[in-house]
Amino acid sequence: ATIASPNVTFDDAIENIDIGGPSMLRSAAKNFAHVLPVVDPRDYPQVLELLAAGEIPLDVRQDFAAKVFTHTADYDNAIAGFLTPRDEALPERIALSMERQQTLRYGENPQQRAGLYVSEEPRGIGDLAQRQGKELSFNNLLDIDAGMLAVSAWRQRPACVIIKHTTPCGIAIGRTAAEAFTRARSTDPVSAFGSVIAFNTVVDRAAAEAMADLFVEVVTAPAFNSDALAVFATRKNLRLVELPVPSGTSQLDWKRIRGGFLLQESFAFDPSEAEWRVATVRQPTAVELDDLRFAWAAVSMVKSNAILLARHEAAIGIGAGQMSRVDASFLAVHKARQAGHDPAGAALASDGFFPFPDGVEAAAASGVSAIIQPGGSVKDDEVIAAADRLGLAMILTGKRMFRH
């Protein structure tokens, strides 16, 4: 707990390293055949029951001993982490320790075993509280995490994101949670079936009633008020999950690869416009600028290559996970029209630069009037020239937002 304090000094941390406690615990654990080593206060009720029942079985003592060694290893790992020098904010050595919180029925597919392991990361999945519904699945948990990360891009206004296979199929902000949901659903009503719906605000009765006719797997939010819970109670299988919105403070993000891990700082959307510049002759209108701001935040949560069309601060077409950016543009326009949206006058956001003018030309042909993208292509001049020739406004942000 000492090193968790933001004001701890190095000398205080060293002075508070416990030597005797871990030594006694390890000694007791080594001798588990003759004693019962107890390290976790949560085990006290079980210990009392075991003592009342008589002799404690050897296998139970061994389980308790294993828990002691795990606990002291965690303690040593915390000390090692504190003492390990950091190179550009990344540690030279990492000892990863997590506790299994839940055994899951299966993984991504029924033939794969799976479990949920949690760390002590603040506002993380360890803080999840399920209010009702069936047991959460492996895929549910992936989508819950993706949804809460997606809504974290908006701090001041109610936002709703509808998730399928960890990528958004609907995104919108509104004056209320209910309005945000209704507008997010209109992005792609077909894909919203069987989804996970995430909010960055408390879900109330109006929002719960707005979802009444839609089959969804999970609704997740920071909280549900009692009226909303009463509405949802008629849908016994619907999973309701309370989970804090990510804080946006820097954490470490792990990507598993065969034989190791890739480590990076977790992505957090940056709303700053300090590096933005209008690259075209035509400036965006005030309405276009609002939609460009929304689209830039929304596209940051879409799998690359990602193109998103927006109007009135709601997504109307999403092209996700395409191998070429021009195909992502085509798909976003196709999805918009399929849902009954007219792309004319819409704003377009791209998570990466346009390598060629063809993506801009395809967007302009559909009626898109303004584009926001990172820039940085060797063909930026050709892309900007195409936007000028077609009468578009284009903002370059100077920041790429790939998501794999």
Q: Say how far residue 307 (Cα) sits from the centre of its chain.
A: 19
Q: What is the pLDDT of residue 92?
A: 76
What DSSP line would sit under 9-55, residue for residue? Answer: -HHHHHHT--SHHHHHHHHHHHTTTTS-----GGGHHHHHHHHHHSS
Tokens 């040593």 found at: 76
Other beta carbons within 10 angstroms of residue 189's beta carbon come to 15
Is residue 71 annotated as a catalytic residue, yes or no? no
Q: How is the chain split among helix, strand and coil, in percent rounded to 5?
A: 35, 20, 45
pTM (predicted TM-score): 0.86
pLDDT at residue 87, rounded to an integer: 61
Nearest by Cα to 335 from 142, 192, 173: 192
Q: Are 190 and 317 in contact (CB under 8 A)?
A: no
Cα 360 to Cα 22, 104, 339, distances in angstroms: 63, 45, 22
Q: Is 197 exposed, middle or buried (0-12, 13-18, 19+ CB in 10 A)?
A: buried
Q: For residue 72, give both structure tokens.
A: 């002291």
- Per-residue pLDDT tens, the chain, 404 aa: give them: 578 777 888 898 899 999 999 999 999 999 999 999 999 999 999 999 999 998 899 999 999 999 999 889 888 888 887 887 666 667 777 777 788 889 999 999 999 999 999 887 778 888 999 999 999 999 999 999 999 999 999 999 999 999 999 999 999 999 999 999 999 999 999 999 999 999 999 999 999 999 999 999 999 999 999 999 999 999 999 999 999 998 876 678 888 999 998 988 888 899 999 999 999 999 999 999 999 999 999 999 999 999 999 999 999 999 999 999 999 999 999 999 999 999 999 999 999 999 999 999 999 999 999 999 999 999 999 999 999 999 999 999 999 999 88
The residue from 67, 134, 165, 379 that is catalytic is 165
Q: Report the pLDDT value the prediction gives residue 1, as an integer from 0 to 100.
A: 59
Predicted local distance difference test score (pLDDT) of residue 328: 94
Distance from the Cα of residue 250 to its chain's centroid? 13
Catalytic annotation on 30?
yes
Q: In sequence order, what E strands does 105-250 have?
A: 114-118, 129-132, 159-164, 167-173, 195-199, 216-221, 239-242
Domains and CATH numbers, the chain: 10-83 (3.40.50.1380), 123-242 (3.40.140.20), 277-396 (3.40.140.20)
How high is the pLDDT of residue 88?
A: 62
